A and B are shown apart, each in its own frame.
Chain A
Amino acid sequence: EADIYQTPRYLVIGTGKKITLECSQTMGHDKMYWYQQDPGMELHLIHYSYGVNSTEKGDLSSESTVSRIRTEHFPLTLESARPSHTSQYLCASSESLTSGTNTGELFFGEGSRLTVL
């Protein structure tokens, strides 16, 4: 079972509020990711990190920001939430593909469902 945790699981907030979605993993994985998923649609990568102090934007443009100060922690922040930000946000982690026999399996958290009114 994956040891990756997201909080909150559900969040309903008003427009203009600042929110932070927390993601922590205890597997010591270097790589961490944030995906956005809408109903019936594929997951879209919005941010990823190769390690501490490394963050990159993903394929889908997002107004959110991330930080990676510690290996185990990868929070996502929205400075001013809007209804268009309503979505499911999934955090994931994986080992480095260069570390021998592993296949870079992706472990997901349970997700944070954000609703902006």
Chain B
Amino acid sequence: KNQVEQSPQSLIILEGKNCTLQCNYTVSPFSNLRWYKQDTGRGPVSLTIMTFSENTKSNGRYTATLDADTKQSSLHITASQLSDSASYICVVSDRGSTLGRLYFGRGTQLTVWP
């Protein structure tokens, strides 16, 4: 069964600290992996998209890694800010069709305290 599991479910850190969020998946055949940021009451916004051949990608203070062999990805946030408080969603796409079906994780709820 194709699944996307994220950990931890929730995380609280102090402003200025770094953190790492995890995503494990069983989706096959793999096409790409995406990380989205979703502020409370808003729609998700794309942070990174990585294909099979990419093992790291950065977007400002966000750095995503991908290990396609172990089917694991991480999202590292550097020097966290209060505005980083949000849900971070891992999404994996398969290559089963030209559309590419998307499998969503439940997200990690990050809270950054001052």
Q: How far is the CA of A113 from the CA of B42 in the complex (A)?
A: 10
- Cβ–Cβ contact B43 & A42, under 8 A: no
A-B CB contacts (within 8 Å), total count:
54
> Separation in Å of the B108 CB from the closest CB of chain A?
11
Cβ contacts under 8 Å, B44 to chain A = 43, 90, 106, 108
Q: Which of B42, B93, B104, B106 is the one whose CB lies under 8 Å from A111?
A: B42
> Separation in Å of the A75 CB from the closest CB of chain B?
17
Count contacts on B: residues with CB < 8 A to the other chain. 23
Interface segment out of the listed A11-19, A64-72, A79-87, A97-105:
A97-105
- Cβ–Cβ contact A104 & B100, under 8 A: yes
Question: Contact residue range for chain A?
Answer: 20 to 34
Closest B-chain residue to A108, C-beta based? B43
Cβ contacts under 8 Å, B49 to chain A = 103, 105
Closest B-chain residue to A110, C-beta based? B43
Q: How far is the CA of A43 from the CA of B6 in the complex (A)?
A: 14
Q: Which of B42, B104, B109 is the one whose CB lies under 8 Å from A43?
A: B104
The yes or no answer to B114 lying at the interface (CB within 8 A) is: no
> Separation in Å of the A96 CB from the closest CB of chain B?
8
Q: How far is the CA of A103 from the CA of B42 in the complex (A)?
A: 23
Would you list the 8 A-B pairs with minimal beta carbon distance, nearest first? A108-B43, A42-B104, A43-B104, A42-B106, A110-B43, A108-B44, A103-B49, A111-B43
Sample of 12 further A-B pairs with CB below 8 A, known A108-B43, A111-B41: A41-B106, A42-B107, A48-B99, A90-B43, A92-B43, A97-B98, A104-B93, A104-B100, A106-B34, A106-B44, A110-B43, A111-B42
